[in-house]
Structure 1
Amino acid sequence: MTKSRAARLAPVVEMAEKAEREAARQLGHCQGLLSQAEVKLGELERYRGDYQQQWITEGRQGVSGQWLMNYQRFLSQLETAIGQQSRSVDWHRTNLEKAREQWQQRYARLEGLRKLVQRYLDEARRAEDKREQRLLDELAQRLANGERH
């Protein structure tokens, strides 16, 4: 009886395993996207640092008004790009957290189902052990009764 309950849960467990694997795959995908966004942000920030270092080097030698205007315009565009990329990193980080929560929920459900199935199997084993013991006791009693007669 109890073993059949465990068997009936097998398709549910299988679906939960599939959902957990998909959530884990999505979690890994989101982690990869966040890493790419962080790398790009780091590259933009390094480029800004290099560009600012160029200003120091060029500035010592004297620069034209046109060069200064171009520098400021480009630096402004670079700052805008860094701001956008920083927001992208934040967005990907939020998505990663949502994916992590989704995976944790699916993992917890799967583990709960596995424990339930194990409990059913343990109950079935105990019931089978009791049945066997009862049969052995009956057999022993019959043998004992048969020897007395």
Structure 2
Amino acid sequence: MATSRAARLAPVVDMAEKAEKTAVQRLAYFQGQVAVAESKLADLENFRLEYQEQWIARGSHGVSGQWLLGYQGFLAQLGTAIDQQRQSLVWHQNNLEKARQSWQEAFARVEGLRKLVQRYIDEARRLEDKREQKLLDELSQRLPRQDSY
């Protein structure tokens, strides 16, 4: 009976394992998205740093007002792009955290089901062992005893 309970749970375990696999794939996807967003942010910040260094180098030789206005406008646009990329990174990190929680829940569900199935299997094994022992005891009682004096 306990073995059949374990067998009846097999489709449920399979579904839970598929859900956990899907959760792992989502987790990997969002990890990749975070890595891309971090890389883009680092590129933008490095570009801004290089652009500011260009200002220092060029500014030491004197610049026109038009160049200065262009520099400030571009630097403002670059700051906006960096802010937007930071927001994008936060958004991706939130998605990653949600995916991580979803995977942890799916993993815990699978592990719980596996433990339950194992418990049912162990229980069936114990019951079978008891049944065999009872049969052996009954058989041994039926055998004629040989008393040796």
| Runs of 5+ unmatched residues, structure 2 | none
The answer for the alignment partner of 2:141 in structure 1 is: 141
Q: TM-score, normalised by structure 2?
A: 0.97
Q: Which amino acid aligns with 1:120?
A: Y
Aligned-residue RMSD, C-alpha: 1.1
Partner of 1:66: 66
- 4+ runs of 1 displaced by more than 4 Å? none
Identical residues among aligned pairs (%): 64
- Residue 92 of structure 2 corresponds to 92
Distance 2:145 2:56 in 1: 110
Counterpart residue identity of residue 145, structure 2 = E
CA distance in 2, matches of 1:88, 1:59: 33
Distance in 2, Cα, partners of 1:142 & 1:89: 79
Query: What's the offset of the Cα at 1:57?
Result: 0.2
Deviation string for 1:126-149 (max 9, x for gaps)?
A: 000000000111111111xx236x
Distance 1:112 1:56 in 2: 62
If each structure's helix is expressed as a fraction of its own residues, which one has the higher value?
1
SS at 1:87 equivalent:
helix
Please tell me whether residue 80 in structure 1 is matched to residue 62 in structure 2.
Answer: no
Q: Where does residue 56 of structure 1 map in the other structure?
A: 56
Q: Following superposition of structure 1 onto structure 2, how do residues 1-149 of structure 1 map, counting pairs within 5 Å?
A: 1-143=1-143, 146-147=144-145
Distance in 2 of aligned mates of 1:30 and 1:69: 40
CA separation in 2, counterparts of 1:147 and 1:55?
A: 108
Aligned residue-pair number:
147
- Unmatched tracts of structure 1, length 5 or more: none
**Whole-Å separation in 2 of the counterparts to 1:92 and 1:142:** 74
Q: Deviations over 1:102-149 (max 9, x none)?
A: 000010011110000000000000000000000111111111xx236x
Give the aligned residue type for 2:72: Q
Q: Distance in 1 between matches of 2:108 and 2:57?
A: 58
**SS of residue in 1 equivalent to 2:97:** helix
Residues of 2 paired with 1:147 and 1:116: CA distance? Answer: 45
Q: By how many angstroms is 1:17 displaced?
A: 0.2
